[in-house]
Amino acid sequence: MMKRILVTGGAGFLGSHLCDRLVAQGHDVICLDNFFTSQKSNIKHLLTEPNFELVRHDVTHPIWLEVDEIYNLACPASPVHYQYNPIKTMKVSVMGAINMLGLAKRCGAKIFQASTSEVYGDPDIHPQPESYRGNVNPIGVRSCYDEGKRAAETLFFDYWRSNNVNIRVVRIFNTYGPRMHPYDGRVVSNFILQAIKGEDITLYGDGLQTRSFCYVDDLINGFLKLMAAPDDCPGPINIGNPGEFTIKQLAELIIELTGSSSKLVYMPLPQDDPTQRKPDITLAKEKLGWQPTVELRDGLTKTIEYFASLDLSKYRKPTGHTAHCSTETDEKMRTLS
C-alpha cells in the first residue's frame, strides 16, 4: 500500500539512503532538510521522481503536513558538526522531537526516532543492551548530542504513554558508507580521506578503543523492519554491527585497501570519547529478524570508491571546533580565546 512518508534530515547521509528505498517502494516521499550538514547532491537523482518532494525547512519550527509515517532523522550527528553550535543541536533534538510528535499526534501517523548509541555514554557494560541506562556526562562537550537524544527518547515514550502516538525508537551504532560527508570528522571518513591523500592517519589515544561499524544498507534494512514491526514493538532497539574492531585495526585496514603510504600518528584522546562501543542486537534478531550481512572489508571497499570519486572542492570544510581536542587542550584553547 502506498503511504505518504515524511523523512526529516532526508538529504543527509542516512536520510538520503532511506529516501531511495522508500521512493523505490512506490511511496510518496517528502524529504525535509535545512542543509546544515547535508548535501543536495545526495538526493539530486530523486528530484525528477514523481513521488519525491524536497522541502527546505528547520525542524525546530513547526510544519503542517498530512502524512502516514514520519522518520525523524534530523540532527547533526558528528562531533565537529554538533559541537559547532551545541545549543542548536539540543534544540534540534528536543524541539524537533516535540514538533514531529505533535504532527504525528494530529495526523495519527506512525513516527520513527533515530536515536543513538551515544545514549549509553562511555559504557561500563559490554556489549550494550537496550536495558543499560548508560554512563553519560550531562555537562560535557558532547552532552548537547548525547543528552539531546536521551531527552528525545523521553519525549517519544511520554507521547506514546500519554497520547497513544504510535512510535518506533532505534539506537544507531557507528554507520558508514557512500554519501558520508567527507569533512564530518568521523573516524571512517577521516581515515579514508587521509589515506587517499597520503597524509598521516590520526589516531586519538592509543588506538585501542573499539567501535562496531555497520554498513548503511544493513542499517536502512533495520529501519524498515522496525517501522513495519507490530505496534507492541516501540523499541528502543539497537541497530548496529556487533563485529568489534579497534580504531588501529580500522586504520590499518583502510591503508591496506587504499594502497596508501600513510603512517599512523597518535594524539591525546578527546574528552568523554567512549573506550568501547558494541551493540547487543539480541532484540533486533528476536523482534525484527534482523542482523547485518555486509562485512567491514566489503563495506569499506565501496566507501573508499565513493570517496575517491568526490570533487572535494564542492564540500565545505568544518569551521573551527574543539571536537577532537583532549580535555587539557580544550582548556588551553578556552584560556587563549
- Contact status, residue 69 vs residue 112, Cβ threshold 8 Å: yes
Q: List the grid coordinates of 139.
A: 555537562
What is the phi-psi region of residue 198: left when phi exceeds 0, alpha when psi lies from -120 to 50, beta otherwise? left
Q: What is the pLDDT of residues 137-188, one digit of tens each?
A: 899 888 888 999 999 999 999 999 999 999 999 999 999 999 998 888 889 9
Which of the four pLDDT bands, split at 50, 70 and 90, describes residue 13? very high
Distance CA 109, CA 26 (A): 18
Q: What distances in angstroms separate CA 25 from CA 10, 21, 66, 154, one per listed residue?
A: 16, 6, 19, 31
Q: What confidence score (pLDDT) does residue 186 get?
A: 86
277 has a pLDDT exceeding 90 = no
Catalytically active residues, by annotation: 145
pLDDT tens digits, residue range 198-209? 999 999 888 888
| Out of 2-11, 96-105, 133-142, 279-288, least confident range | 133-142
Beta-carbon contacts of residue 147 (< 8 Å; ≥ 6 apart): 90, 136, 138
Report pLDDT digits (tens) over 34-77.
Answer: 998 888 999 999 999 999 999 999 999 999 999 999 999 998 87
Cβ atoms of 212 and 238 within 8 Å: the answer is no
Residue spans of beta strands (DSSP E) within the chain = 4-8, 28-33, 52-56, 69-72, 110-116, 167-172, 175-176, 201-204, 210-212, 214-215, 237-239, 244-246, 264-267
Distance CA 98, CA 278 (A): 30
Kindly state the average pLDDT of the residues 267-276: 73
Strand order, beta sheet including 110-116: 52-56, 28-33, 4-8, 69-72, 110-116, 167-172, 237-239
- Cβ atoms 10, 19 nearer than 8 A: yes
Domain ranges of the chain: 4-176+214-239
CA distance readout (Å), 314 to 39, 87, 154, 275: 10, 27, 38, 34
The CATH code of domain 4-176+214-239 reads 3.40.50.720
